[in-house]
Amino acid sequence: MSHSKKNAKNTKAKVSQINKLSDLQLPFVKEVPKCMNCQKKSSQFYCTKCKAYFCEECEQKAHSIKIFQTHKNFLINPLLVELEEENKKHKKQKENLCSLHQKPLIKFCSKENRLICVKCEKKCQRKDHITFSFDESLKYFKKKNKTLLEQIEKEKKTKRKTIKNIESKQNQLNKKFEIKLKIKMVKSLYYETRY
């Protein structure tokens, strides 16, 4: 028997076990948990002995060993799996929609500093806000960043000059202090030798 036919037979056997779920209490889940073995894929099976969720690949690996073949593995409700996949798609689409109007984000408003949809754009235009396409907004931000970087460099130069001035004055003060100290030492030596 080929490997794919064997897998199909195993899957059919597991699906037929779903009918026995009415007398079995599985943990209630609102969403499909990740496979407890690989932690990457969504689980498709629940093992009552292991009390663990498995993706199809990990379930086959784990329960292909003879001592684990007596474990009862049940297929998780396939509708729940589909629902989760739809939710993921919907969330991804929703990320690219305007939170106010549920329309695609197509432009950028410089005054409000956010991405906007067609309806928001009309409001922005009425308020005399400047809006940009994505390409224009990229250029805008590059220009803005360049300007900011230039300002930062200017401030750095000014601060470096200020630091140099402070260091120079500090050196001058140190020299004056050294001179005064030497003068005091000379005076004290002079008075000591004189008396």
The model's pLDDT over 30-56, given as tens digits with 9 standing for 90+, comes to 567 888 889 888 887 888 888 888 888
Q: Return d(Cα 27, Cα 7) in angstroms, integer.
A: 26
Domain ranges of the chain: 3-84, 97-134
Region 3-84: CATH code: 4.10.640.40
Provide the whole-model pTM: 0.32
Q: Give yes or no for a contact between 14 and 22, defined as CB atoms under 8 angstroms apart.
A: no
Residue type at 99?
S
Rounded (5°) CA angle 79-81-82: 65
Q: Environment class of residue 45 by beta-carbon count within 10 Å: exposed (0-12), middle (13-18) or buried (19+)? A: buried
pLDDT for res 21: 45
The model's pLDDT over 65-94, given as tens digits with 9 standing for 90+, comes to 888 888 877 777 654 555 566 666 666 666
Backbone angles phi and psi of 167, in degrees to 5: -65, -40
Q: Given CA atoms 164, 165, 170, 176 in this order, what sign does their dihedral have? A: positive
Query: What homologous superfamily is domain 97-134 in, according to CATH?
Result: Classic Zinc Finger (3.30.160.60)
